Structure 1
Amino acid sequence: MVAPTAPGDRSSREEFAQRLLKGSAKLSYAPIVDIDWDAPLDPDKFFLPPEVVTLYGTPEWDAMTRAQQIELSRQELVNILSAGIWFENILNQALLRDLMHKNPTASATHYALTELGDETRHMVMFGKTIARIGGIPVRPKLVQRMFINALPLAFRGSVLWSAALVGEEIFDALQRQIMEDPDLQPIVQRLMRIHVTEEARHIQFARDGLRKMVPTMPRYRKVLLANVHGLGGPFYRMLFTLPIQYHRAGLDGADMRRVARQNPHFHAMCVTSFASLSAFFAEVGLMGRLGRRWWRRAGFL
């Protein structure tokens, strides 16, 4: 993996992109062959660590059998992987549109194309994992898919990198908690290791882009960017507690969503997942008052 960029890093965008390209050449994966898709699933192992499941620590969780807890972890993993597929779709569309305006000979362009390749492989990896564990993808409704397809029109420059960080860093923080759990299905551990390794480069590319853009950004744009990312808070709160995942596990969807949203363990997980990104936004001057309020009200601060 590539070392994180420090606040004092003065390398140019091109130099930084060249470092990432070298890192990609040394360590990248092809999930089709790098994951053993025929390996059996262990019926007594979780698909997410219990501590990451939204109902963990509640009386409702304690009343469930281990088999029921494992099934809920399976459904919540399917929900997370489904969301990952749709977000990678948005990011890929936005990157392609942005590249239409870039120099095709530049190293930064070449790394953006490398990231596109990584993300398409991740979509395949997520889809194959959902199928392998016997899940049904959680698909957005038609009107939501129309909105998703429109988002890349607005994602360019600093907005693109800010959106990429909101979409990637929270999942990345969760995956780092997940992948070391010995009680986890091996296929899930392998998936998380691959994704964390390659997403580390994507996150640093986005961070470097913002770090270099903010000092010369017009004030109105900086104020807008420092607050609009706060919409990620209520979005993630909604995403992590979708009723369908509880319903598919044989529970009352609306009731369990309420329980999860009041669960202090779930709130602590949300705070942990946002901590690194929150610190970065504050460091580069992109944590506005309204944005902070939205993240706090959603339970991420």
Structure 2
Amino acid sequence: MANTTVTTTSHHEAVEDDVSQKLLDSAATLAYDPATEVDWETPLDKDFHGASPEWSSLYGTRYWKEMTEEQRKELTRQEAASVASTGIWFEMILQQMLLRDIYAKDPTSSDFQFALTEIADECRHSIMFARGAAKLGAPPYKPPRAVLELGRAFKTIAFGEAAYAAILVAEEVLDVMQRDWMRDERVVPFVRTINNIHVVEESRHMKFAREQTRRRLRKAGPTRRHLQAFVVAVASYFIVTSMVNKDVYANAGLDVKRALREAKANQHYKSMVRSSCSGLMEFLSSSRLLTRPALAFYKRANLI
């Protein structure tokens, strides 16, 4: 029995190491430098949206129908900048969790080296998002103070599968959203380029996060699994509900109270978010991370 266990563990490690090596090979052949790939010089063309209108928090509401086309475009630009700012916030958390996870581990392993590759990618992405938000004419959006402090605690205490599954949640939601934006000719060209870069490079990060989540869960007993499922669900709730900062409405020249009220009741936006998470929810379910307490948070965040 012991020999079988050792053989099985060795097989899993070999497979996982091979996955990381393939991701390293992919990064070596298909990677971007946003400093040169994105058109930073051309002035912002306000005839374009900042994101696909269907992804706006007000799309389909009575308020949306009353807005002028210029107001709609300004709102989507502000919302795109808010999503980018939320991305920066979580990428900073992600980088710290990855560094803590690989600390003192074998630097010759492909897992270690891909983790560093991912951190390098995220550094470039954060700069790219920051420059993109500035070019969209938006101020620096930040999550509420309470959420910032919860993020500070999460990056400090999250470990193993909780860290990687939370990374996956943030990346999966953005992935589906940005795939729509990068193909949409109504979206300003430089934002489409940003989204294309992020989608290509994050596809490797998502595969790595899935493999790491599976690996850590093999050693998790029922108590740890339930605790980690809850931690991931709470983190997911705050990530998703922080994507659209309430200040975007004022900066788009809208009535903030009315916009917040109609956005909160917008079934179309909730449906878009749920559809973006279908694959993620299947993965969490197959990993037995959709416990009853976790489901309550996913439902509150309209992820399921």
TM-score with structure 2 setting the length: 0.91
**Cα deviation, residue 140, structure 1:** 4.1
Q: Distance in 1 between matches of 2:224 and 2:300?
A: 24
| 1:126 matches 2:129 | yes
- Is the Cα–Cα contact under 8 Å of residues 241 and 260 in structure 1 kept in the other structure? no
CA contact (8 A) 1:47 1:73 kept: yes
Using a 3 Å threshold, how does the CA distance of structure 1 residues 151 and 163 change in structure 2: closer, same or farther?
same
CA displacement 1:55-80 (0-9 Å, x = unmatched): 00011001000000001001101110
Q: What residue in structure 1 maps to residue 6 of structure 2?
A: none
Q: CA deviation at 1:235?
A: 1.9
Shift of 1:238: 3.0
Greater alpha carbon shift after TM alignment, 162-171 vs 96-105 = 96-105
Q: Does 1:17 align with 2:16?
A: no
Residues 1:219 and 2:222 aligned together: yes
Shift of 1:143: 5.7
CA distance in structure 2 between the partners assigned to 1:129 and 1:298 by the alignment? 27
Could you tell me which residue of structure 1 aligns to residue 267 of structure 2?
264
**Stretch of structure 1 that moved more, 104-113 or 229-238:** 229-238
1:70 aligns with 2:54: no
Opposite residue 41 of structure 1, the aligned amino acid is L
| Letter aligned with residue 67 of structure 1 | E
The equivalent of 2:303 in structure 1 is 300
2:164 corresponding residue in structure 1 = 161
Whole-angstrom distance in 1 between the partners of 2:139 and 2:300: 31
Contact 1:50 1:56 in 2 (8 A): yes
**RMSD value over aligned CA atoms?**
1.8
Q: Summarize the alignment of residues 1-301 of structure 1 with structure 2, pairs less than 5 Å apart.
A: 12-140=15-143, 144-232=147-235, 234-236=237-239, 238-301=241-304
Does structure 2 conserve the Cα–Cα contact (< 8 Å) formed by 1:243 and 1:254?
no
Give TM-score scaled by structure 1 length: 0.92
Partner of 1:6 in structure 2?
none
The alpha-carbon deviation at position 200 of structure 1 amounts to 0.3
Aligned-partner residue type, residue 131 of structure 1: A
Q: Distance in 2 between matches of 1:241 and 1:131?
A: 16
Structure 1 counterpart of 2:141, which letter? V
**How many positions carry a matched residue from both structures?**
293
Contact kept? 1:58, 1:263, Cα under 8 Å: yes
CA distance in 1, matches of 2:235, 2:276: 12
What's the CA shift string for 1:28-53, capped at 9, x where partnerless? 11100111111243221111111000
Structure 2: how far apart are the matches of 1:21 and 1:236? Answer: 28
On the 8 A contact 2:182/2:196 being kept in 1, the answer is yes
Question: Equivalent pairs: percent with the same residue?
Answer: 36
| Residue type of the alignment partner of 2:86 | A
Compute the displacement of 1:144 (Å).
Answer: 4.7
Q: Which stretch has the larger CA shift, 131-140 or 61-70?
A: 131-140
Contact 1:82 1:126 in 2 (8 A): yes
Distance 2:243 2:166 in 1: 18
Equivalent AA in structure 2 for residue 260 of structure 1: A
User: Partner letter of residue 123 of structure 1?
Assistant: S
Please report how far the alpha carbon of residue 237 of structure 1 lies from its aligned counterpart in structure 2 after TM superposition: 5.2
- Which 4+ stretches in 1 moved above 6 angstroms? none
Unmatched segments (≥5 aa) in structure 1? 1-8
* Change over 3 Å in CA distance of 1:245–1:182 after alignment to 2: same
Contact 2:49 2:77 in 1 (8 A): yes
